[in-house]
């Protein structure tokens, strides 16, 4: 099942799921709408709480419930938010694609190189990345995101997949000048709006093989990145297990698995993000994430 958070007509952001039985006209189901099945209507009203309850088990129950027409919104008309508008944290992996390392003439790291990105950097589909004038050169980074479904602490790779709630598209926007100046990731990865996520969370049964997914990004219609998760240096299970040795991973946290070749600095001339442009980030089976780029609003 594909789970979403979306803006209801009254302005509230509420959780729901996509009914794709008619692939030509998928619908978002507003589970919070009065008149729904009483069990469904009694669920918490945020998707983070659903993750803690277990998305896979919820999917079976939700699919068996009935919903009135008033609870159905055509996906094409739904205003989607980030599935998890405020995740606890995003744990990113740097230098984790073989093609990107070859592009930079770097050897693969011996162990995963990870960093933490604040949940407050997250924005949803169609929300703009804002570029402050003093941030410097900014790049896109298309990635597969993995949503943690239950607490993981010092686990083994063999246990890791059982801790996954689902998958989503993620764009780890990064201020390259800050990363280079600081020789660290904190500032460059944690500017406001620097983590577009969405458009939904797909449960693991929706994805046949997460280790063989195409990952693409285009800016203004021009393909800038095109890779595949088969090219990861450290796979999903290894990343989760390693991160769990460094910090607790909690339900709703997101693992950003790294980005393939083609980041802005690798192009001639460099393809730094500029106000007025727009990005589309895609991962096979997980939809497309549309992101305009604007200058920061005056404070």
pLDDT digits (tens, 9 = 90+) for 71-94: 999 999 999 999 999 999 999 999
Among the candidates 40, 62, 80, a domain finishes at: 80
Instruction: Please indicate, yes or no, whether residues 94 and 197 belong to a single structural domain of this protein.
Output: yes
At residue 176, what are phi and psi to the nearest 5 degrees?
Answer: -60, -40
Q: How far is CA 88 from CA 71, 121, 147, in A?
A: 29, 11, 11
| Containing structural domain, residue 132 | 89-295
pLDDT at 298: 64
Instruction: Please indicate, yes or no, whether residues 148 and 254 belong to a single structural domain of this protein.
Output: yes
**How confident is the model over 104-123, as pLDDT tens digits?**
999 999 999 999 999 999 99
Instruction: Please indicate, yes or no, whether residues 101 and 194 belong to a single structural domain of this protein.
Output: yes
Statement: the pTM of the whole predicted model exceeds 0.85? yes
Spell out the alpha helix ranges (H) of 117-185.
157-160, 176-182
Instruction: Please indicate, yes or no, whether residues 36 and 133 belong to a single structural domain of this protein.
Output: no
pLDDT at 23: 87
Q: How far apart are the first and last CA of the chain?
A: 40
Instruction: Please indicate, yes or no, whether residues 252 and 105 belong to a single structural domain of this protein.
Output: yes
Residues of the chain with pLDDT under 50: none
Q: CA-to-CA distance for 213 and 227, rounded, in angstroms? A: 8
Among the candidates 80, 99, 114, a domain finishes at: 80
Instruction: Please indicate, yes or no, whether residues 12 and 146 belong to a single structural domain of this protein.
Output: no
Instruction: Please indicate, yes or no, whether residues 11 and 49 belong to a single structural domain of this protein.
Output: yes
């Amino acid at each position: 099942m594909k789970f979403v958070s979306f803006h209801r007509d009254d302005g509230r952001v509420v959780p729901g799921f996509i009914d794709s039985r008619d692939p030509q006209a998928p619908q978002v189901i507003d589970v919070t709408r009065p008149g729904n099945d009483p069990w469904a209507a009694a669920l918490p009203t945020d998707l983070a709480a659903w993750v803690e309850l277990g998305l896979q088990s919820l999917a079976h129950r939700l699919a068996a419930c009935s919903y009135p027409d008033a609870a159905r919104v055509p996906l094409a008309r739904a205003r989607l938010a980030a599935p998890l508008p405020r995740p606890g944290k995003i744990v990113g992996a740097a230098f984790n694609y073989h093609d990107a390392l070859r592009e930079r003439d770097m050897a693969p790291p011996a162990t995963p190189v990870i960093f933490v990105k604040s949940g407050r950097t997250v924005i949803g589909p169609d929300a703009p990345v804002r570029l402050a004038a003093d941030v410097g050169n900014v790049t896109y980074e298309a990635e597969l995101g993995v949503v943690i479904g239950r607490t993981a602490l010092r686990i083994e790779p063999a246990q890791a997949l059982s801790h996954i709630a689902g998958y989503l598209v993620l764009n780890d926007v990064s201020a390259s000048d800050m990363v280079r100046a600081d020789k660290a990731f904190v500032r460059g990865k944690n500017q406001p709006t620097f983590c577009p996520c969405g458009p939904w969370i797909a449960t693991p049964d929706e994805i046949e093989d997460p280790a063989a997914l195409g990952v693409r990004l285009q800016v203004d219609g021009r393909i800038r990145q095109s890779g595949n998760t088969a090219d990861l240096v450290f796979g999903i299970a290894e990343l989760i297990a390693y991160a769990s040795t460094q910090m607790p991973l909690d339900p709703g946290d997101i693992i950003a698995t790294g980005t393939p070749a083609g980041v802005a600095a690798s192009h001639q001339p460099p393809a730094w993000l500029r106000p007025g442009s727009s990005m589309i980030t895609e991962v096979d089976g997980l939809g497309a994430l549309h992101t305009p780029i604007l200058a920061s609003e005056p404070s």
